[in-house]
Chain A
Amino acid sequence: MTKLPLDIPLNDFHLARGAKMISFAGYNMPINYSSGIINEHNKVRTHCGIFDVSHMGQILIPSSNYNICNLEKYIPLNLKKLKSNKSNYSFLLNEKGGIIDDIIISNINLNNKTFFYIVYNASRKNHDENIFIKHTKNYKILKKNCLFAIQGPEAYRVLNKVIKIPNNIHFLDFFSTNIKLKNVLITRTGYTGEDGFEISIPIERAENFLKKLLEDNNSILCGLGSRDSLRVEAGLSLYGHELNEDITPIEAGLLWALDKERLNDNNLNGNKELFDQLCNQPAKKKIGIKMENRTMIREGMTIVNKNNDKIGIVTSGCFSPTLNKSIGLGYISSDYSLSNEIFCKIRDKLEVIKISNLPFVKKNYNKGAIK
């Protein structure tokens, strides 16, 4: 059965500002506004862009022992030791260590109680919420909150005019504030490789808040088109592309996001499979790809060696405005991960591609003073 896509709460607001809409993960979403994807992309790299990502899932789960024990079956972190008011990139894992979803989990204090605040992908809402509903108690799915990402070197300045940002808030730090008696949840993060913030705000305060952010001459609305090229330049994986239930975090090059001690814990899904992969090189490896000529790399294209044998696949491809050429992400057989003779099949022709270090474009996070 096909379901009609849902509208996000500020759908009309975006249409009135020239949004072109596409259907994405069950939602009508702005792909770009009138100035176009490349302009939006460049604005985020140089000034400030604002994305409405209210299609994403958000949940508050009290950090009780019961909830911690059940969540630790899926999440490869030591949840008891998460720092307070700090966000972490992590996963929900299936029994084989495959990725059910990638998430941001924050250990937060809100109204004198402690919660896990989890943000998860729209495309995985059903899977994730089934787990949360079945295995945790007193959770609250934040269906009545919008989520905005404000990104770019001027994001701090633009946001600070509307909400006073406390001192010492750096990359992955969380804080909450109130707007007219409503809780607003803010994390210094994003998915563009730039400094920025993600802001969860109740729908009734959302439009006014967004308008205030857009009053700044250097901030513009951006859609999913530029969000995609920004995250590929930053080498960041996207669920359904680089990540799925048949790929483990280790194969996806995301070992850093696992708490290695948890791999000895039988309460963690797939801990044995992950431990094996830690000791033996996985069969496939995630790579960055650069096109040598002006042709475009697209998702689903085959990667081959000089004998035309299939050795891998492209999982994301886009035009990189920063590098002025096409770039992509993909998986290839580990035997070829250092090879300089690999090709991409594009319209029956073999085009030379180069394996590139990730990220393609240096990340620009505000990590504060190194302690």
Chain B
Amino acid sequence: MNDKKYTKDHEWILLEESVATIGISNHAQESLGDIVFIELPKIGKTIKAKQEICVIESVKAASDIYSPIDGEIIEINKELEKDATIINQDAENKGWIFKIKVTEPNQLDDLMSAEDYSKFLEQ
């Protein structure tokens, strides 16, 4: 069972109680190609939905990562600072990027389920 929700910007978000884990989709890492660097956000930062949070640099381009939801950043995946290719290897698990303490969980209602997202990709 995949409880993740997906955005049109190819990010995934997994809400467990009041904490949301966020990363980029497997499709996104495939189109970015080899990822070489990620500029992680600062812990404690308060953010709004659709705000730019951090930047992923791949061999092809720099891509902004947006937050799908309001909240406060409470954890970042420090492993990615040492080896950003973890995102290429396992984008939707070990390649998670940051965790947010969520204040408006109903913002997730507008996002796509895994099934809707794969239909979205086929369009």
Contacts and interface: CB of A to CB of B under 8 A. Distances in A.
B36 interface: yes
A352 interface: no
Interface residues of A, number: 15
B53 to A, nearest CB: 13
Interface secondary structure of B, over-half rule: strand
Contacts of B88: 36
Interface residues of B, number: 11
A37 B37 contact: no
A296 B37 contact: yes
Interface in B27-71: 33-34, 36-37, 39, 55, 57, 59-60, 62
A229 B58 CA distance: 13
Interface string A264-297: 0000000000000000000000000000001110
Contacts of B57: 295-296, 319
B62 A296 contact: yes
Contact of B59 (A37, A294, A295, A347): A37
B60 A294 contact: no
A31 B36 CA distance: 17
A221 B67 CA distance: 38
A318 interface: yes
A296 B62 CA distance: 8
Interface string A243-254: 000000000000
Interface in A282-322: 294-296, 298, 318-319
Nearest to A324: B36
Given A32-B33, A294-B36, A319-B36, A38 B62 contact: no
A326 B36 CA distance: 9
**Interface secondary structure of A, over-half rule:** mixed
Interface string A320-349: 000000100000000000000000000100
Contacts of B55: 347
B33 A225 contact: yes
A336 to B, nearest CB: 26
Nearest to B39: A295
A241 to B, nearest CB: 16
A298 B88 CA distance: 21
Given A36-B59, A326-B37, 13 more contacts: A36-B88, A37-B59, A37-B60, A38-B59, A225-B60, A294-B36, A294-B37, A295-B39, A296-B57, A318-B59, A319-B36, A319-B57, A326-B36
27 contacts: A31-B60, A32-B33, A36-B34, A36-B88, A37-B33, A37-B34, A37-B59, A37-B60, A38-B59, A225-B33, A225-B60, A294-B36, A294-B37, A295-B37, A295-B39, A295-B57, A296-B36, A296-B37, A296-B57, A296-B62, A319-B34, A319-B36, A319-B37, A319-B57, A319-B59, A326-B37, A347-B55
Q: Which 7 pairs across A and B sit closest by C-beta, in order of nearness?
A: A296-B57, A294-B37, A38-B34, A319-B36, A37-B59, A36-B34, A319-B59
Interface of B: 33-34, 36-37, 39, 55, 57, 59-60, 62, 88
